[in-house]
Amino acid sequence: MISSQQIFKKYFPQLKETSFKHKLLHSVCKKLLHETTFIHFAECYPNLQGFDLIEKTLEYFDFSFATIDKQIERIPVTGRVVIVANHPIGTLDGLALLHLVRKLRSDVKVVANELLMEIEALHELLLPVNNFSGNTAKKDLLNIHDFLSCDGAVIIFPAGEVSRFTATGVKDRTWHKGFLKIASRAKAPILPVHIKARNSWTFYACSLFYKPLASLLLVQEMFNHNQQSIQVSIGKLIPFDSYGKNKLSTKVKVNLLQNEVIRVAKGKVSYFKTESVIAHPVARVDLKQAIEKCKLLGCTSDNKSIYLLEKPEHGVILKELGRCREVTFRSVGEGTGEKRDLDKYDLNYMHLILWDQEQLEIVGAYRFTPTSKIISSQGVEGLYSSKLFRYEADMQPVFERGIELGRSFVQPRYWGKRSLEYLWQGIGAYLAMNPEIRYLFGPVSLSSALPKKAHAYLVYFYQLYFPAQGTLASARNAYLISDELDNELFNYFTGENYAKDFMKLKTMMSNIGVSVPTLYKQYTELCSEGGVQFVDFNIDPDFNHCVDGLVVVDLSFIKEKKQQRYIDMHLQGNKQGHVAL
């Protein structure tokens, strides 16, 4: 609890406790802080902590906020984000914003000054700073960075104090640059929020003559806002690439972001390139019911299930697939920038889904289709990969007995947990049910987040050892290696010993801090020599200029162990319904 004794010592340290002036001013301070009321509140609710205390405080003051439902969807429910706002009231507005965000995600904290830190019951929700004055302890800044690194949400009031009366009206003082440094270091997107509210004229008059007294009046202002409501306007998400990679000075960026909050209130277009916040998850009960209506292909020992969605519809499964795709691809520097990553092909393709039975979560998925079916009704243009590659006549045998695979993902939280292996087991189950299929093909992405040299190394290596056999297709926006680098790689790789050259590739990738993408290893290790081709490589501007390699796999070359591991094990299982993996 805020103690009048502590506050009094801070603002009037020069007065002796025994003096009449000290006693008089302390009595006034105690009244301004409503200390008796807060003591009574604490006695009534002695065990309230954190968010529960905030809820009860807002309830006590009958204080509420209003915002537009569509704008609430702009608050990311997962992933790191720095939320910046003006601070018109200085007390309840901060609690209201924290309450709003906390209803959507539990991993949110607010950067607070030392006054709020006096309230121990709120410590779990606070990250202390010294008003961004430049005197904040390094450990406090490190705590904020660590919280963002764990993909938390941080609320910051960059003015560092309540809005004041100025010649141009009531507004924040010039924002401190600390918030921008925090966001930039974490490469976190910034979400601008405007709060429409104001304090009393008495408060603003006092702040003009003596700021410490105005600060003491903030508690009285809380009581003045009893039974009031404020308007909260939420802007669009500003990604790090938009504010962090331009050539503007820090001062200009800070001013633009402060003005951005005002533009949000007026509904004006952002100064920055924005992106849609990823959609909020669909209701788990609805998703579970829809998933369980799909065809079950197998179950794993760690409570995952593999389902096949054969006839997609506009519903909860596609919505959640699109959301999970966007979460995954944004995490590696790709993504559409939309709420969900969905396209016109999703309704015409089948979807292999790995389902977490305990968490009621889509772990990952693969999209695929028998190509003969699509081409017979829509032509080659009906294939997703036709956007990236021009197909030639030599692809006809592949189309007749092939399936196009693509848009695979595993959510980041499930990386390293055999998830991709389970999805491949699902593909094997489908192949076991459809033995006429001979070819797998489709685009395999190289993230734009990889260093440029890594793209060149991978493209050169995979075209060297897995070249196109005939004229199958050509890239619409071809990836090209410079002559200089091509000559360098020609002299580095022998092209005669795959194992030795692959070790060289791994070393080169490791030297620049990355590794060979899992799917590239997965496809090429599936077959014996001659069974895998990387036909061409395309740059896709729709997905942040990632590089897609068109892979073609001939299953007649599949290695015996892979055949047994992915396909044969399902042949007996098909007779029993599904396989336990």
The pLDDT score that the predictor gives to residue 487 is 94
β-pairing, 361-370 with 350-356? antiparallel
Indicate left, alpha or beta for 285 from its phi (over 0: left) and psi (-120 to 50: alpha): alpha
The pLDDT score that the predictor gives to residue 166 is 82
132: pLDDT strictly greater than 60: no
Residue 581 pLDDT level (bands cut at 50, 70, 90): low
Residue 1 pLDDT level (bands cut at 50, 70, 90): low
Same domain membership, residue 409 and residue 472:
yes
End-to-end CA separation in angstroms for the chain: 56
Asked if residue 454 belongs to a domain, the reply is yes
Domain CATH code at residue 111? 3.40.1130.10
Same domain membership, residue 550 and residue 408:
yes
21: pLDDT strictly greater than 80: no
Same domain membership, residue 112 and residue 27:
no
- Indicate the residue among 199, 231, 266 that finishes a domain: 266
Asked if residue 274 belongs to a domain, the reply is no
Q: What is the DSSP string of 475-535?
A: ETTB----HHHHHHHHHH--SS-HHHHHHHHHHHHHHTT----HHHHHHHTTB-TTSEEEE
Q: What is the pLDDT of residues 3-13, one digit of tens each?
A: 656 666 665 66
Same domain membership, residue 390 and residue 375:
yes
Q: What is the pLDDT of residues 496-542, one digit of tens each?
A: 999 999 999 999 999 999 999 999 999 999 999 999 999 999 999 88
- Indicate the residue among 232, 266, 300 that finishes a domain: 266
Asked if residue 255 belongs to a domain, the reply is yes
What tokens appear for 67 in the block? 């915002």
- Indicate the residue among 236, 266, 296 that finishes a domain: 266
Asked if residue 275 belongs to a domain, the reply is no
17: pLDDT strictly greater than 80: no
Same domain membership, residue 419 and residue 323:
yes
The pLDDT score that the predictor gives to residue 313 is 85
d(CA 387, CA 400): 19
Closest to 228 measured CA to CA, from 195, 262, 265, 261: 195
Task: Pick the range with the lowest mean pLDDT from 16-25, 102-111, 250-259, 359-368.
Answer: 16-25
Residue 270 pLDDT level (bands cut at 50, 70, 90): very high
Return phi, psi of residue 257, to 5°: -70, -35
Asked if residue 277 belongs to a domain, the reply is no
The pLDDT score that the predictor gives to residue 438 is 98
**Size of the chain in residues:** 581
Same domain membership, residue 536 and residue 461:
yes
Asked if residue 276 belongs to a domain, the reply is no
Same domain membership, residue 160 and residue 72:
yes
Task: Decide if 167 contacts 161 (C-beta within 8 A).
Answer: no
404: pLDDT strictly greater than 90: yes
The pLDDT score that the predictor gives to residue 333 is 73
What tokens appear for 438 in the block? 């001979």
Same domain membership, residue 102 and residue 26:
no
Same domain membership, residue 310 and residue 204:
no
Walk across the sheet containing 64-66 and list its strands: 64-66, 229-234, 190-196, 81-85, 153-156, 108-112, 126-128
pTM for the predicted model, two decimal places: 0.78
Domain count, the chain: 3
d(CA 345, CA 335): 16
Asked if residue 152 belongs to a domain, the reply is yes
Same domain membership, residue 312 and residue 233:
no
Mean pLDDT confidence for 272-279: 90
Same domain membership, residue 96 and residue 19:
no
The pLDDT score that the predictor gives to residue 133 is 52
Asked if residue 278 belongs to a domain, the reply is no
Question: For all residues of the chain together, what is the average pLDDT?
Answer: 89
Q: What is the pLDDT of residues 477-490, one digit of tens each?
A: 999 999 999 999 99
Residue 468 pLDDT level (bands cut at 50, 70, 90): very high
Containing structural domain, residue 182: 49-266
Mean pLDDT confidence for 214-232: 83
Same domain membership, residue 234 and residue 172:
yes
Alpha helix ranges (H) inside 245-370:
250-266, 284-291, 316-330
